Amino acid sequence: MMSTNMVPILDLNPLPAPYWVFKVLLLVTFFLHLLAMNAMLGGAVLAVMAHFTGKDRTHGNRVFLDVAKKIPSLLPATVTLGIAPLLFLQVIYGQFFYTSSVIMAWPWFSVLVMLTIAYYGFYYVSYRGGKDPGRAGWVMLVSTLLVTFIGFIYSNNMTLSMDPNHWAAKYFAHPNGLNLNLSEPTLFPRYLHFFVAAIAVGGLLLVFMALANWKRDNDYARRLLYFGGKTFTFATMAQFVVGILFLMALPREMIMLFMGGSPLASGLMLFSIVASGIAIMVMSKAVRTGNIKVAAVQVPAIIAIVIAAMVVMRDILRDAYLKPYFHPEQFTVKTQWTVLPLFLLLFVAGVVLWIVMMRRFFKAKSVSAS
C-alpha cells in the first residue's frame, strides 16, 4: 500500500526556535530522563531480586525495603524528566510520533493506567513494606512488572514511529488502535538493551546507597556494594552480547553507520565499548578491595558519559531511519524572541532554586516536627 505519502504533513506553524535548539534540548533532557528511569527501573528490579532471592532473609528484606523506599522519589523524577523530551520530541518529530501513537493507541493509552497502578504499588511498599514484607514483595513485583512493560510499550512506539513503511498495514488491519510493533526485528534486542542498562544503573543505585551507609553501618554497606557492584558488572558484560544482537538486527545500511559509515556513530560506539570495559574492570576491583569512593564516583561518571554517548547514537540511528521522510530543512523557523529568553531565564532560575532546595533539605539537621 502507500508508503511515504502516509507521513502526515507538518502543521503550518513555524518552529519557534532553530531546529538544533530543540534537538539539543531533546537529547539533554532525554539523557536526564534516562538516568532517573534507569535508576528507578533497575532499582525496582533489584529490590524484587533482593526480596525473592538469597538465603539471608533479614538482609534481603532490609535491602528490599531500603531500595523500595527510593522508588517513590525516583518515579516522579522519571516522569517529570520524561515530560521535557516528550515535548521536544513532538516539536520536531511530531509527524512520526503522533502517527505511531494513534496506530497503537490502546497500548499507548494503557501506559497511563499501568503507571498509576505501579505508582500506588510503590507507595504501598514504601509505607507498608516494613509491616508486611511478604505482601509488599508481591506488590513490588507487580509494580515492577508494570513499569518494565511500560518500557516495552515505549520501545514499540519509538520503533514504529521510525518505520512509516509499516504504518498502513498495521493501521488498516486494526484502526481501533490494538497494535504493537512486534514484527520489528530490532524491537526485542533494542528493548533488552535498555532494560539491561537499567539493571546496571540499578546496581549503581545500590552502590550509592552503600556510600550513604558507609560510616553508619559498614557491614551492611559492604554487602550493598557487593550486590550493586556485581550486578553492575554482570549487567554491563551482558550488554556486550545484547548490544551485538541489537546491532546485528539493524538493517545493513544502519549497521554500516557504526562500522565506519558515520565517523561520529562509529567513534561513539567504540568509545562506549571501551569505556564500558574500563567501567567493568574498575568496578570489579573496587568491589574486591572495598573501595567505595571509586565505585560510587568514578564508575558512575564513566557510565554517565557512556549513556550520553548512547543517547547521541540512538539519535543518529533515528535520523538514519527517517532519512527518506524527514529533513530538518522542511521546517520554517520563526524564533519567538519574546518568549525564548524568558524560558531560558526561568530554566536557569529553576535549576538554581532546585539546587537550593536540595541543599537546604539535605543539610538540615533532623528535628521532630510534631
Interface with another protein (CB under 8 A), residue from 27, 79, 256, 305: 79
Question: If binding is defined by CB under 8 A, does position 247 make contact with another protein?
Answer: no
Which residues in the 138-177 window bind another protein by CB under 8 A?
167, 171-172, 175-177
How many C-beta atoms lie closer than 10 Å to residue 339's C-beta?
11
Which residues in the 102-131 window bind another protein by CB under 8 A?
102-103, 105, 108-109, 111-112, 115-116, 119-120, 123
- CB closer to another protein out of 58 and 338: 338
Question: If binding is defined by CB under 8 A, does position 20 make contact with another protein?
Answer: no
Q: Min. distance of Cβ 59 from another protein in angstroms?
A: 26
Interface with another protein (CB under 8 A), residue from 3, 80, 183, 289: 80
Which residues in the 181-240 window bind another protein by CB under 8 A?
none
Which residues in the 49-78 window bind another protein by CB under 8 A?
73, 76
Q: Min. distance of Cβ 11 from another protein in angstroms?
A: 5
Interface with another protein (CB under 8 A), residue from 3, 8, 56, 293: 8
Stretch that binds another protein, among 128-136, 194-202, 223-231, 336-344 (CB under 8 A): 336-344
Interface with another protein (CB under 8 A), residue from 12, 134, 216, 329: 12
Give the count of residues interacting with another protein (CB under 8 A). 73
Interface with another protein (CB under 8 A), residue from 53, 131, 263, 368: 368
